[in-house]
């Protein structure tokens, strides 16, 4: 089972305990080292709130379910504030190979909605395994890729 | 059918015409998506020189975001993100942009106008920032650098509409013409700009981008989290270690020769772009085999493998963690070792100045076509801590301008540049030379040779391997070295 970041964007976020709609999924934050979804940024009105992946109890085709209403919280540190502003968004970022060649743009990321594990990086018409993601910084995401 | 029409000329001028006349080119989700896709694609097209934003109807360049588009909450969020991506892509676009400002240019349309570098107005211009009226925080960032804080506040807070005459009076547009002639006037301006050296124009575009504060705003945002403990950001995965290298000495001038950047003439192409256009079929057509096409593929392959030192100049130095920490100032080449032994550096950004640290070859992960990759910022070290060849390279060992003589006394030309294997840590494949006739030639690096301060002596066989382009050099390298081994 797999899901794409771009397809998941905008999906409603619902509390499992109260059934209240808490907002809409704005960004997915990635732990590059673990090739894993680390947290979600949820837009609620004009606010952007953060929820750790561990608090996500279900990532379905129609809604993202959270353990409870309190799982969402305001950004607590610089990292979370950057995430809330969308500055950690990897999709749309320049992609460079580790050999220093441009690979275009990271168009999408495929992940397992059950575990949050990243599965593949979409670079134009090609896909690279998520394990080829070497780093992600302000300038580019770095990918170990077979050169075009 | 798409909502964006793209026309590309052989002179490197692309025109994007917004094509939703029934909505005065209001930006709906699809049009935003098409704009982003076009900007991203054109931004990496080396043949491009100038981009013009225009319209298929004189009544409007763009009347803003399409508020009549029926979207649920998620769709609304997605459209806002697309709009942000569009503005970001426009801001980051590496080439000059020109807006054909005719009819309605309102809200998001005004942002498009202000986001472009140059503006030609039609005499029917109706320009207005609707941010205050709609409660949307857009406008100040792009308008203020153009007209000043006082006037920007007045235009944005009132949201009043100004015409071509007033826009010209405050310096917002550069010329006013009848609306029907606006695109032609913009193309004349584009042709003028496109006639200049493309690399210089790109550098100037980057310089203006920094001056208008867009880059600074981005850096301010990123600096907040760069030092944070955010998981997964700015970090690198284990397993990408570099190999040890060798050192040597002597610097090669890092001026840009542009020899490897030459491209064939482009055929004028006119097509529509959009989410429903037959992309695959289009690609198949363009990929149709032809002798010229095969030649181009060979050329691409050679360009993929070989890069001149001049082309390395100015490349960003990027960590495997994805941060750009410097850019290449000079390539330090050792003719004795036959390889690049290090790089001197500038800070990032035009006019940012020299960086004290140097980058020895041992700490380079790979020299690529688009970036020099390093494992981490620790690779940048002070000259005093670097090997002498890198920390204090003797200027008299510069091989640029050296005469290339064969053992039999034949002059092949003078060294113009060295050619480096892309993806290596600085392995040199050969030299770019200026031949006696004034042309450009390439010779493979010989296995044995002699170097003085003014000349390089190469094996006699070298003269059979003088090639007129990098493609030929790539093909000649192995054969040349085999020949020398045989002798």
Reported as a single tens digit per residue, the pLDDT across B352-378 is 678 889 999 999 999 988 999 999 989
pLDDT category of residue B135 using cuts at 50, 70 and 90: low
Which CA distances in Å does B455 have to A46, B196, B450, B459, B473?
69, 35, 8, 13, 21
Chain B residues 266-285 with a CB less than 8 Å from chain A:
none
How far apart, in whole angstroms, are the C-alpha atoms of residue B152 and residue B172?
A: 11
Residues of chain B with Cβ-Cβ distance to A10 below 8 Å are 73-75, 77-78
The pair of three-digit structure tokens given for residue B446, joined into one six-digit string: 């010989």
pLDDT category of residue B173 using cuts at 50, 70 and 90: very high
B248 CB contacts (<8 Å, ≥6 apart)? B333, B334, B335, B336, B337, B338, B339, B341, B389
pLDDT category of residue B456 using cuts at 50, 70 and 90: confident
B159 versus B436: which is more confidently predicted? Answer: B159
**pLDDT, mean over chain B:** 75
How far apart, in whole angstroms, are the C-alpha atoms of residue A69 and residue A84?
A: 18
SS3 state at B429: strand
How far apart, in whole angstroms, are the C-alpha atoms of residue B399 and residue B121?
A: 52
Instruction: Give the range with max mean pLDDT: B139-153, B171-185, B202-216, B431-445.
Output: B171-185
Query: What is the tens place of the pLDDT at every residue in B3-40?
Result: 899 998 878 899 999 999 999 999 998 999 999 989 98
Residue B229 confidence (pLDDT):
29
Is B70 touching A (CB cutoff 8 A)? no
Residues of chain B with Cβ-Cβ distance to A86 below 8 Å are 81, 84
Residues of chain B with Cβ-Cβ distance to A102 below 8 Å are 44, 369-371
DSSP code, position A68: -
Query: pTM here?
Result: 0.52
In this predicted structure, the answer to whether residue B106 has a pLDDT above a threshold of 70 is yes
Residue A51 confidence (pLDDT):
95
Q: Do B237 and A32 touch (CB under 8 A)?
A: yes
Residue B296 confidence (pLDDT):
47
Task: Report the chain B residue with the minimal C-alpha distance to residue A85.
Answer: B221
DSSP bridge partners of B450? B457
DSSP bridge partners of B421? B306
Residue among B78, B84, B366 minimizing CB distance to A9: B78
Residues of chain A with Cβ-Cβ distance to B77 below 8 Å are 9-10, 24, 26, 43
B350 versus B308: which is more confidently predicted? Answer: B308
Residue B19 confidence (pLDDT):
93
Chain B residues 412-431 with a CB less than 8 Å from chain A:
422-423
Q: Do A87 and B229 touch (CB under 8 A)?
A: no
| DSSP conformation letters of B13-66 | EEEEEE--GGGTT-B-HHHHHHHHHHHHHHHT-TT--EEEEEESSTTEEE-SB-
How far apart, in whole angstroms, are the C-alpha atoms of residue A112 and residue B121?
A: 51
Task: Report the chain A residue with the minimal C-alpha distance to residue B376.
Answer: A135
Which CA distances in Å does B3 have to B41, B104, B277?
17, 17, 11
Is A71 touching B (CB cutoff 8 A)? no
Residue B481 confidence (pLDDT):
61
Please name which of B232, B100, B215 lies closest in space to residue B164, comparing C-alpha atoms.
B100
Query: What is the tens place of the pLDDT at every residue in B200-212?
Result: 888 888 878 766 6
In this predicted structure, the answer to whether residue B329 has a pLDDT above a threshold of 80 is yes
**Nearest CA to CA, how far is A113 from chain B (Å)?**
19
Q: Is the Cβ–Cβ distance between B348 and B403 less than 8 Å?
A: no
Residue among B77, B230, B318 minimizing CB distance to A83: B230
B219 versus B102: which is more confidently predicted? Answer: B102
Residue among B226, B236, B369 minimizing CB distance to A100: B369
Residue B310 confidence (pLDDT):
85
Task: Report the chain A residue with the minimal C-alpha distance to residue B369.
Answer: A101
Chain B residues 319-348 with a CB less than 8 Å from chain A:
319-324
Main-chain phi, psi angles of B284, to 5 degrees: -60, -40
pLDDT category of residue B474 using cuts at 50, 70 and 90: low
Query: What is the tens place of the pLDDT at every residue in B61-98?
Result: 999 888 788 777 777 777 887 888 888 889 888 899 99
Which CA distances in Å does B481 have to B120, B404, B470?
58, 18, 17
How far apart, in whole angstroms, are the C-alpha atoms of residue B419 and residue B406?
A: 19
In this predicted structure, the answer to whether residue B186 has a pLDDT above a threshold of 90 is yes
Residues of chain A with pLDDT under 70: 146-148
Residue B262 confidence (pLDDT):
32
Residue A79 confidence (pLDDT):
87
**Percent of chain B clearing pLDDT 90 (strictly above):** 27
Maximum distance among all Cα pairs of chain A, rounded to whole angstroms: 50
The least confident of A79-88, B52-61, B261-270 is B261-270
Provide the Cα torsion A62, A65, A70, A75; round to 10°. Answer: -70
């Amino acid at each position: 089972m797999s899901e794409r970041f771009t397809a998941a964007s905008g999906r409603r976020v619902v509390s499992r305990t109260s059934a209240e709609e808490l907002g809409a999924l704005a960004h997915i934050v990635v732990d590059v080292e673990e090739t894993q979804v680390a947290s979600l940024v949820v837009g609620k009105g004009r606010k952007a709130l953060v929820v750790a992946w561990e608090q996500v109890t279900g990532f379905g085709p129609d809604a993202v379910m959270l353990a409870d209403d309190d799982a969402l919280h305001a950004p607590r540190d610089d990292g979370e504030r950057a995430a809330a502003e969308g500055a950690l968004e990897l999709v749309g970022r320049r992609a460079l190979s580790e050999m220093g060649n441009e690979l275009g743009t990271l168009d999408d990321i495929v992940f397992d909605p059950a575990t949050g594990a990243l599965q593949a990086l979409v670079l134009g018409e090609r896909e690279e395994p998520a394990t080829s993601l070497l780093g992600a910084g302000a300038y580019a995401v770095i990918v170990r890729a077979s050169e075009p | 059918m798409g909502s964006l029409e793209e026309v590309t000329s052989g002179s490197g001028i692309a025109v994007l015409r917004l094509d939703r006349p029934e909505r005065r080119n209001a930006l709906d989700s699809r049009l935003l998506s098409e704009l982003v896709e076009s900007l991203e694609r054109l931004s990496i097209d080396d043949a491009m020189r100038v981009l013009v934003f225009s319209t298929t109807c004189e009544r409007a360049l763009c009347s803003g975001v399409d508020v009549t588009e029926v979207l649920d909450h998620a769709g609304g969020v997605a459209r806002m993100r697309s709009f942000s991506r569009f503005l970001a892509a426009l801001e980051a676009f590496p080439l000059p942009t020109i807006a054909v400002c005719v009819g309605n240019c309102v809200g998001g349309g005004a942002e498009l106008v202000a986001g472009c570098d140059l503006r030609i107005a039609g005499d029917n211009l109706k320009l207005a920032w609707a941010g205050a009226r709609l409660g949307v925080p857009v406008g100040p960032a792009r308008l203020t650098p153009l007209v000043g804080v006082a006037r920007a506040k007045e235009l944005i807070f009132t949201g009043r509409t100004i015409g071509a005459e007033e826009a010209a009076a405050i310096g917002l547009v550069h010329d006013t013409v009848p609306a029907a002639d606006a695109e032609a006037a913009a193309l004349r301006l584009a042709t003028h700009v496109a006639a200049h050296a493309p690399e210089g124009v790109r550098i100037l575009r980057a310089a203006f981008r920094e001056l208008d504060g867009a880059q600074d705003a981005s850096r301010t945002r990123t600096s907040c989290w760069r030092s944070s403990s955010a998981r997964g950001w700015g970090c690198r995965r284990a397993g990408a270690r570099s190999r040890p290298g060798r050192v040597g000495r002597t610097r090669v001038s890092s001026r840009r020769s542009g020899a490897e950047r030459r491209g064939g003439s482009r055929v004028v192409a006119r097509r529509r772009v959009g989410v429903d256009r037959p992309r695959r079929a289009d690609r198949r057509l363009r990929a149709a085999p032809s002798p010229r096409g095969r030649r181009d593929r060979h050329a691409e392959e050679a360009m993929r493998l070989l890069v001149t030192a001049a082309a390395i100049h100015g490349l960003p130095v990027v960590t495997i963690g994805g941060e750009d920490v410097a850019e290449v100032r000079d390539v330090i080449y050792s003719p004795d070792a036959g390889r690049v032994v290090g790089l001197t550096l500038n800070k990032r950004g035009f006019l940012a100045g020299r960086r004290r640290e140097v980058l020895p070859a041992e700490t380079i992960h790979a020299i690529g076509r688009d970036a020099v990759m390093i494992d981490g910022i620790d690779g940048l070290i002070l000259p005093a801590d670097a090997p002498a060849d890198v920390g204090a390279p003797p200027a008299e060992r510069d091989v640029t301008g050296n005469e290339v003589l064969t053992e039999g006394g034949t002059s092949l030309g003078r060294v113009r540049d060295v050619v480096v294997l892309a993806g290596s840590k600085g392995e040199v494949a050969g030299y770019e030379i200026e031949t006696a006739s004034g042309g450009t030639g390439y010779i493979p690096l010989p296995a044995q040779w002699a170097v003085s301060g003014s000349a390089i002596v190469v094996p006699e066989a070298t003269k059979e391997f003088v090639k007129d382009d990098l493609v030929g050099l790539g093909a000649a390298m192995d054969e040349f070295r085999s020949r020398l081994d045989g002798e």
